[in-house]
Each structure stands twice: as C-alpha cells, then as structure tokens.
Amino acid sequence: MARLLITLFSLLPLACYAQSDIPYYLQFSGNLLINVPVEGFSRVQDGVSVGGGGAFIFQGKRGKPLFFGLEAAGGRFETESIKFTTTQNGFAEDFRERTSTHLLQAHVLARFKPFTGFFLQPYADGLLGGKWLYARTVFSQEFDEDEVEVIERYTEISDNTLSVGAGAGVQVRLSAAPDLLLDFRCVYLYGGSARYWARDPDAPDPLEFSAEAFEPRISPTSTLSFQLGLTLQISLKEFHGLE
C-alpha cells in the first residue's frame, strides 16, 4: 500500500505538467454580415440589413471542446435622403436630410467546437441576447469638395426585444503564426415583437421630409444571418512560452 501511494505521488507532478502542456484558447473575431428578415418580419421589412460585428470567445476548460463568449453586431436596413438648397445673404447653401433604419444585436453564446486536427474546424452555437431596432435622422450641410458638416442628429423611434437562436459555421486555418482563421457562419435568430420603422409604400412623392418615406410597424423580428469574417486564435501556452 505504501509503495502504491509513493508511486501515485511521484506521478502527480507529471500529471500536472501534462495538464499545463495542453493549450488554452482565446479567440477574437470580426466579420461582415447580412441579416435577412424571415417569417413575419419578412412580410413587413423588404430589405436586408448589411453591417458588421465582432466577438470575444474563450475556452470553458483546458482541453475541452466547449467555448463561451460575447458578440455584438449592427447593420443598416434602408436609407432615404432629400437634398435642398436655400439662399442666405445672397449665397446658395446646400443641405441634406437623411433618415435610416438600423438593427443592433448583442448575445452571449455557447459554442461546441470539436478538435479535428485538420485545417477545417466546424462548430455549432447557441445564442441568447437582445435586438435593438431604431431609426435615425441626420441633418447636415454640404460644401464643395465633399465636405459635410452635421448640424443635428436624432433618433426617431427605438425599441428592443429578446433574441434567441442557433448557428453553425466552419473555420479555415489561413496561417499558423499568427493563428488566423477564415470564418464562415450562418445563424438563425428568433426575435420577439418590436415597434420599428419600415418603408411606406404609400409615401408621398416628392417627399417633404426624409422620414415621410417610413411608417411605424409592429411584428416579430426573426432574422437569418450570413457572416464572413476573420478570427485570431491565441494559445495561452504559446503566450507563456514567450516569457
């Protein structure tokens, strides 16, 4: 018995060393994305939201394929602008009023990403968070040589709602040092009902104000997102090896 205990204690440092030798991963991601309205949202919102986002993801436990993280993204659906000229002190001055509709979203995520030992690395995500839909108007003066001075900007309408969904993707290793991955991802996000602006098919023509191109609507806000991005993967084992 004593010999067995001595053997176990002698192996303990080796086990600790082997555990520390397993890398622990962090990921920093940036992406371009297209949000396509689906289900009830698609019957009201004709356009797609184009924008970008980013994420920070960390490994739940060293050597395990479960990751957790935070991500945020934003995009613009539609824009309407009108330009007009006024005369002040005998000089013509150009002004522009622009109204645009936007979607922002933020989520916590859990990711299952098995270790493939291959340059293709598939994964699956579960997400929980919120969506924020708003419309903003910007009033600006335009000068020669594309110079623009913003005079006023304000939010016309805003609302938020729950967002929950799932996604899948694949990361393709581009280089090992730094560990850079090309990321393809598709995410379905169920969105609760929210009040927002959508384009008004019966808007007056010509418009007196850019906001007249839109009307308030209420509907679910589910989307299907297609994303293309780059991910920098950092191994803490490699980081400590530089010290």
Print pLDDT tens along the chain (243 aa). Answer: 455 434 434 444 443 444 456 778 899 999 999 999 999 999 999 889 999 999 999 999 888 999 999 999 999 999 999 888 888 777 788 889 999 999 999 999 999 999 877 788 999 999 999 999 999 999 998 887 678 888 899 999 999 999 999 999 999 999 888 889 999 999 999 999 999 999 988 888 888 888 889 999 999 999 999 999 999 999 876 544 443
What type of residue is 24? Y
Do the strands 25-37 and 223-235 form a parallel or antiparallel pair, or are they unpaired? antiparallel
Alpha helices (H) along the chain: 2-20, 236-241
Work out whether the CA dihedral 152, 156, 161, 164 comes out positive or negative.
Answer: negative
Break the chain into its structural domains and give their ranges: 25-241
CATH of 25-241, one of 1.10.15.40, 3.90.800.10, 3.10.310.30, 2.40.160.20: 2.40.160.20
Three-class SS of residue 90?
coil
> pTM score > 0.95 for this model?
no
Structure tokens at 29: 């991601």
| Residues 157 and 134 sit within 8 Å (Cβ to Cβ) | yes
Structure tokens at 129: 């968070």
